[in-house]
C-alpha cells in the first residue's frame, strides 16, 4: 500500500538510528571504564570481542542510515547533516576499540588511575552528545543545546588538564624511552576520543543553529 508518510520521510527512523548510534558510542566508553577498573588487563579474545561487537553494531547503524537516505525522498534534516553526524558518532566507538587493542598488547605498566579519569571525562562528553542528539527529534532549542555543549566543552577542558598531568608524570617518572613513547601515544588517543565527542557535538550545534 502506498504510504505518503513514508515517501515524505515523516517517520522517526533517522532520529531512532542517530540516537542508537550515540547510545552505542556511550556504551563502548562504559565498557572501556569497566576495562580500566579491573585489577588485571584484558587478554582474552572474548573480552576484546565486546568492543569489536560494539563498533560493528554502530557500523551497521551507520550503514543503515546511508541506505535509508537513498530510499527516502524527504528527510527531517538535511541529508548532508545526517551523514555528517552519523559519521562523527561512528568515529567514537571506532577509536575506543583502537585504544583497547593497544592496551591489550602493551606488556608494561600504565597509570590506571589516570587513564580511568580520562575515560570518565570521555563518558561525560559522550553523555552530553547523547542528550544533544535526542534533542533533535523534537526540534532542539538553542538554549538546551548550548547548555549541553558547555558540559561537553568542560569535559574536554578537564580531559586536557588530565592528559597534561599524565604527560608531566611521564616525563619525570621512572619510564624507559620505549614506554614513554607508547604511553604518550595512548594518552593522546584517549584525548582524541574526547575530541571525537566534541566533533559530534559541534555537528548537532550547527544543525540547531541552521534550524533555529
Cell for 133?
A: 542528539
Cell for 50?
A: 565486546
Domain extents in the chain: 10-211
Question: Which residue is listed with cell 586536557?
Answer: 160
Query: Bigger pLDDT: 12 or 95?
Result: 95
The CA-atom distances, in angstroms, between 48 and each of 1, 22, 76 are 45, 21, 37
The CA-atom distances, in angstroms, between 76 and each of 151, 207, 209 are 27, 11, 15
Q: Supply the CATH classification number for the domain 10-211.
A: 1.20.58.220
The CA-atom distances, in angstroms, between 75 and each of 11, 69, 71, 190 are 9, 8, 10, 34
Give pLDDT tens digits for 40-61.
544 444 567 888 888 889 999 9
Work out the average pLDDT over 20-45.
81
pTM score: 0.88
Q: How far apart are CA 183 and CA 128, in angstroms?
A: 28
Closest among 128, 142, 150 to 200, alpha carbons compared = 128
Cell for 119?
A: 575515560
Q: Is 80 exposed, middle or buried (0-12, 13-18, 19+ CB in 10 A)?
A: exposed
Cell for 48?
A: 576484546
Give pLDDT tens digits for 87-141.
999 999 999 999 999 988 888 877 888 999 999 999 999 999 999 999 999 887 8
Cell for 11?
A: 517517520
Contacts with 47 (C-beta within 8 Å, 6 or more apart), sequence order = 35, 104
Question: Which residue is listed with cell 621512572?
Answer: 174
Q: Model confidence at 8, in pLDDT bands (50, 70, 90)?
A: very low
Name the DSSP class of 74. S
Question: Which residue is listed with cell 505518503?
Answer: 4
Amino acid at each position: 500500500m502506498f504510504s505518503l508518510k513514508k515517501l515524505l520521510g515523516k517517520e522517526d527512523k533517522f532520529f531512532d538510528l542517530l540516537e542508537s548510534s550515540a547510545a552505542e558510542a556511550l556504551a563502548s566508553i562504559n565498557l572501556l571504564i569497566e576495562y580500566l577498573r579491573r585489577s588485571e588487563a584484558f587478554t582474552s579474545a572474548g573480552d576484546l570481542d565486546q568492543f569489536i561487537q560494539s563498533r560493528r553494531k554502530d557500523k551497521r547503524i551507520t550503514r543503515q542510515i546511508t541506505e535509508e537516505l537513498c530510499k527516502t525522498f524527504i528527510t527531517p534534516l538535511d541529508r548532508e547533516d545526517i551523514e555528517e553526524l552519523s559519521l562523527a558518532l561512528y568515529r567514537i566507538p571506532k577509536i575506543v576499540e583502537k585504544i583497547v587493542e593497544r592496551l591489550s598488547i602493551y606488556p608494561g605498566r600504565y597509570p590506571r588511575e589516570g587513564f580511568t579519569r580520562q575515560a570518565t571525562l570521555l563518558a561525560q562528553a559522550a553523555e552530553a552528545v547523547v542528550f544533544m542528539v535526542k534533542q533533535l527529534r523534537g526540534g532542539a532549542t538553542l538554549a538546551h543545546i548550548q547548555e549541553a555543549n558547555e558540559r561537553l566543552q568542560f569535559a574536554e577542558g578537564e580531559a586536557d588538564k588530565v592528559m597534561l598531568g599524565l604527560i608531566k608524570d611521564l616525563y619525570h617518572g621512572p619510564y624507559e624511552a620505549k614506554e614513554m613513547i607508547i604511553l604518550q601515544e595512548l594518552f593522546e588517543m584517549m584525548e582524541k576520543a574526547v575530541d571525537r565527542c566534541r566533533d559530534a557535538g559541534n555537528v548537532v550545534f550547527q544543525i540547531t543553529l541552521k534550524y533555529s
